[in-house]
Amino acid sequence: MNSNSLVSIADISREEILSLLERARYFEEHPNSKILDGRVVATLFFEPSTRTRLSFETAVNRLGGRIIGFSDPGTSSSAKGETLKDTIKMVSNYADLIVMRHYLEGAARYATEVTDIPIVNAGDGANQHPSQTMLDLYSIYKTQGRLNDLTITMVGDLKYGRTVHSLLMAMKYFKPKFIFVAAKELAMPQEYKDFCDAEGIQYTETTDFSPEVINQSDIIYMTRVQRERFTDPMEYERVKDLYTLHNAMLADSRPNLKILHPLPRVNEIDIDVDDNPKAYYFEQARNGLFARQAIITRALGINPLDTAEK
Ligand code: CP
């Protein structure tokens, strides 16, 4: 495995996370530094995406690199039965870095085992989404001025939501308090609650998205109920409309509260929240560009601070 790969947020230390956040800040100030001249990045998306793929590709374009890849696996030879192993080995002949989204948990880890070039996991099933976590951390830091000692309420699909799983693991360094709001069918999986227990992270669970919960939160992290993860359509129908955040529910919330959502949303945040200054999800997605510029340059072993004009 190439040690510059980013497969799980658990693969990187607190210091590396803080260093990536510092890089993201640099790129927010210098988004068009041409430091990837001659580098080729492949984006292989076996699942749909808007933000992750386009922000990775924008990140490369703004840094002067080149992009190859596919957004629809139906246009690649995987549609003819080519294995993931062979696809990764082929693309490794052409690119310096692979950014991959796949519907199978563990696919990105597997990819690191069949190539020497770095792999960045852009989401593997319900498992991990580490680049989303970096932009989430950057968004939390920008809006709260710190990462430590925050109350973070996660709402919605906590079972299949890879973004909440990654974020929960990354926050272990920053003494969070979590409130998990979910229907029993979509509760935070036991392995992540065990993780919290092992790391001494406080959490409470509730099915009630109550004023008491909202009004003690510094961050409310809303999530979509992901139809594509359900094997039973009736179960999806039962839980899909349980939690919707409306503007009126924020009347007595903390002044510093920010509403995050990895997006896309369906109906879990009413559009009447969009004009509330506490709504941060569109800026959050914009931060993805800078966080991914940081991740790409780390993966390619390029330090923008070394190449910056003095
Ligand atoms: N947040 C996120 O992963 O969005 P996309 O599915 O549009 O990439």
DSSP states of 128-160: B-HHHHHHHHHHHHHHHS-SSS-EEEEES-TTT
Least confident range of 97-101, 187-191, 237-241, 268-272 = 237-241
Q: Tell me what pLDDT residue 285 has.
A: 98
Averaged pLDDT of the chain = 95
Backbone φ and ψ of 172, nearest 5°:
-60, -25
Q: Which range is least confidently modeled, 23-37, 90-104, 234-248, 278-292?
A: 234-248
Structure tokens at 97: 């870095």
Cβ 49 under 6 angstroms from ligand 1: yes
- Report the pLDDT value the prediction gives residue 309, as an integer from 0 to 100: 53
Percent of the chain with pLDDT over 90: 91
- Predicted confidence at residue 255, as pLDDT, reads 98
Please say if the pLDDT value at position 310 is more than 60: no
CA 151–ligand 1 middle distance (angstroms): 24
Q: Is the CB of 52 under 6 A from ligand 1?
A: yes
Query: How high is the pLDDT of residue 228?
Result: 83
The residue whose CA has the least distance to atom 5 of ligand 1 is 49
Share of the chain above pLDDT 70, in %: 99
- pLDDT-based confidence at residue 232 (cuts at 50, 70, 90): confident
- Which atom of ligand 1 has the smallest separation from the CA of 263? 1
Instruction: Kindly report, residue by residue over 25-36, the tens digit of the pLDDT.
Output: 999 999 998 999
Ligand 1 lined by 51 (C-beta under 6 Å)? yes
List the residue whose alpha carbon is closest to atom 6 of ligand 1. Answer: 49
The pLDDT assigned to 33 comes to 87
- CB of 128 within 6 A of ligand 1: the answer is no
Pull the structure tokens for residue 238: 């039962």
Ligand 1: centre distance to CA 102 (Å): 12
Question: Measured from the CB, is residue 263 less than 6 Å from ligand 1?
Answer: yes
Distances in whole angstroms, Cα of residue 82 to Cα of each of 74, 75, 78, 88, 91 = 11, 12, 4, 10, 12
pLDDT at 307 over 70: no
pLDDT in tens, 79-115: 999 999 999 999 999 999 999 999 999 999 999 999 9
Q: What is the pLDDT, as a whole number, of residue 308? A: 62
**Residue 127 · residue 165 · CB < 8 Å:** yes
Looking at residue 305, its pLDDT comes to 78
Distances (CA, A) of 150 to 177, 199, 255: 6, 16, 14
From the list 279, 212, 218, the residue with the least C-alpha distance to 245 is: 279
Angle made by CA atoms 141, 293, 121, in degrees to the nearest 5: 90
CA of 51 to the centre of ligand 1 (A): 5
For the segment 120-138, what is each residue's pLDDT rounded down to a tens digit?
999 999 899 999 999 999 9
Tell how many helices (H) and how many strands (E) occur in the chain: 11, 9
For residue 262, the ligand 1 atom closest to its alpha carbon is 1
Residue 58 has pLDDT above 80, yes or no: yes
Would you state the pLDDT for residue 141?
A: 98
- Read off the pLDDT of residues 11-20 as tens digits, 9 standing for 90 and up: 999 999 999 9
User: Catalytic residues, which ones?
Assistant: 51-52, 80, 101, 129
